[in-house]
Amino acid sequence: MIEKVDLVMWTKNGSATLPYVLERINEVVPAGNVNQKLIVDDKSTDDTCEIAEKYGWAVIPNMGAGISDGANTALRHVETEQFISFEQDLLLARDWWLKIPPLLENPKVAAASGMRFASQPRGVQKLQQYVAKKYRGEANLSSWLRRRQEAAFTLGSTLDNTIYKTAVIREVGGFPKIQVNAGVDTALAYRLRQAGYAWMVNYNVQSIHLRGSLMHELRHQYWYGTQSREIWCRIAKEANQKPPITKFGIMYRFVISPFTGLFVAFKTLEPTIVYIHPLIKFYYMKGYLESGKFSFTI
């Protein structure tokens, strides 16, 4: 039974979404169960810090830069046996508190999360929901498309709605140090697995990832593609784990994406996926190719 938890968040120029995010956290997480509310800010130039303080969060400067340093800065200040991390653009599911913290009662579970899906556009949201079903084996797909076990392993393992056992996170060395801003959660999932712990995800608890236009999502995919090399190099170094996809695999998925998009559009009854899926694969591939090659192969 969890009594008190610290809440942590890392921010950078998050004023557009922060009031909604903090208000929802207040509604979902009972005030009587909250010890500290800590925001680690990464040199915001808008009124992020003022908004945080208005909602009762203490603001701490990031001791470095980026999510990796922000997460470890927060970890240094955690006082409770469990703590929860959020990101500045996530509306927490209203049933999150009732369904996610109890997962830590399993002694082998070190972290637990729900899922999160884009608020808009509808095609991106439906595509993400379908991918979640595919990796969970619920979608009506041929067996060869269900074999991506490593992709399924990290599905839902994100830092934006997660509760952790503090002692375990410290035991494994804290949050992985990654030079880029993506992939801290992915690397942490592998680090925990290497140490014999699990990261549980309740796929039925669905938070809202506040997104803008389709171009917003495409820019995000391009950005994530540019981060991929560093993410997988870090995982290979820490967990001796080869990447689940190669350069050829990324290019192949783009080539077949018009057909895949058509198939998923039919399965979800969402016609915009016909062009959204190829665009997403193109922007991710473009970002990856511009970042250089993997330094290792499968």
Per-residue pLDDT at 49 exceeds 90: yes
pLDDT of 297: 36
Question: Comparing C-alpha atoms, which of 298, 285, 198 is closest to residue 242?
Answer: 298
> The pTM is what?
0.87
- Quote the strand ranges of 46-152, DSSP E: 58-61, 82-87, 90-91, 109-118
pLDDT of 5: 97
Q: Express each pLDDT in 123-144 by its tens digit.
A: 999 998 998 887 765 555 444 4
The average pLDDT across 97-120 equals: 94
The average pLDDT across 191-220 equals: 91
The average pLDDT across 34-52 equals: 95
Per-residue pLDDT at 22 exceeds 50: yes
The average pLDDT across 28-34 equals: 96
Q: Express each pLDDT in 188-204 by its tens digit.
A: 998 899 899 999 999 89
Per-residue pLDDT at 69 exceeds 60: yes
Amino acid at residue number 70: G
Question: Do residues 112 and 104 touch, judged by C-beta distance below 8 A?
Answer: yes
pLDDT of 285: 94
pLDDT of 148: 54
pLDDT of 298: 32
Across the chain, mean pLDDT equals 88
**Would you state the CATH architecture of domain 5-214?**
Alpha-Beta Complex (3.90)
Question: Which residues have CB under 8 Å from 80's CB, separation 6+?
Answer: 4, 5, 6, 35, 36, 166
Domain boundaries, the chain: 5-214
- The CA distance from 72 to 65, in Å, is 11
Question: Comparing C-alpha atoms, which of 119, 210, 111, 193 is closest to residue 153?
Answer: 193
Per-residue pLDDT at 150 exceeds 80: no
Question: Comparing C-alpha atoms, which of 151, 181, 173 is closest to residue 87?
Answer: 181
Q: Which of 16-30, 183-197, 198-212, 226-240 has the lowest mean pLDDT?
A: 226-240
The average pLDDT across 101-114 equals: 96
- The CA distance from 44 to 10, in Å, is 11
Per-residue pLDDT at 295 exceeds 60: no
- The CA distance from 290 to 234, in Å, is 19
> Are β-strands 198-209 and 109-118 bridged in parallel, bridged antiparallel, or unpaired?
parallel
Q: What size, in residues, is the chain?
A: 298
pLDDT of 99: 96
- The CA distance from 139 to 82, in Å, is 34
